[in-house]
Structure 1
Amino acid sequence: MGCRKRAAKHQLLRVVAVEGVCVPDSRGALPGRGAHLHPDPTCLDLAVRRRAFPRAFRLQGNLDTTALREYVEQRAGDTPAG
């Protein structure tokens, strides 16, 4: 969504909108329309800047991405640099 680069499904993070909040769905089990994004803060920033989430979920207005940002930043901090 953010960087628009293609990747295998297992390399991407599924995101779902629940009551106006973008929620990470790491297991792929949450109901509803999902969007896929690289679990990288840069990709998330691009998606937010481009307003890709409301378009992907076909919703009006802004969505809260705080929980998603915390998840992505924590996951980016867990991976070793290399």
Structure 2
Amino acid sequence: MLGDEAGHSLRPDPARSMPGRGAHLHPDPACLTLALRRRAFGRALRVGGVFDTDELAEYIEASTSSSGHPTGRGSQRNASKVGRPT
């Protein structure tokens, strides 16, 4: 994350080597949308203001389009067991 005059810029750091505070986010566009809607970055990073997420969104889009799945493990997902009879 970098601070500038317009707010804060969120950048991906897959190697986890950049200095400063960070926040974990699944490489999934739905997770980014949910985090933005819930204003999770401000709480996780302990800063206020407007966040520029362009670079982060581009990284997530590139990682999902290259493998077809956000984690690169194919399209199989475990179904939720909530609300199912046992």
Q: TM-score range by the shorter chain?
A: 0.7 to 0.9
Q: Distance in 1 between matches of 2:40 and 2:9?
A: 14
Unaligned runs of 5+ in 2: 69-73, 76-86
Which of 15, 20, 23 is matched with 1:32 structurally? 20
Which of 44, 49, 62 is matched with 1:74 structurally? 62
Tell me by how many angstroms 1:55 deviates.
1.2
Q: CA RMSD in A?
A: 1.1
More strand by share: 1
Unaligned runs of 5+ in 1: 1-16
Q: How many residue pairs were aligned?
A: 66
With the length of structure 2 as denominator, give the TM-score of the two structures: 0.72
- Determine helix, strand or coil for the equivalent of 2:11: strand
Q: Within 5 Å, which residues of 2 pair with 1:1-82?
A: 17-19=1-3, 20-80=8-68, 81-82=74-75
Tell me by how many angstroms 1:54 deviates.
1.2
For 1:7, the equivalent position in structure 2 comes to none
Q: Distance in 2 between matches of 1:70 and 1:47?
A: 16
Structure with the greater alpha carbon radius of gyration: 2
Q: Distance in 1 between matches of 2:63 and 2:45?
A: 23
Percent identity of paired positions between Structure 1 and Structure 2: 48
Which amino acid is the alignment partner of residue 57 of structure 1? L
What are the superposed Cα offsets for residues 4-52 of structure 1, whole Å, 9 maximum, x if unpaired? xxxxxxxxxxxxx212100000111000011101100000100011111
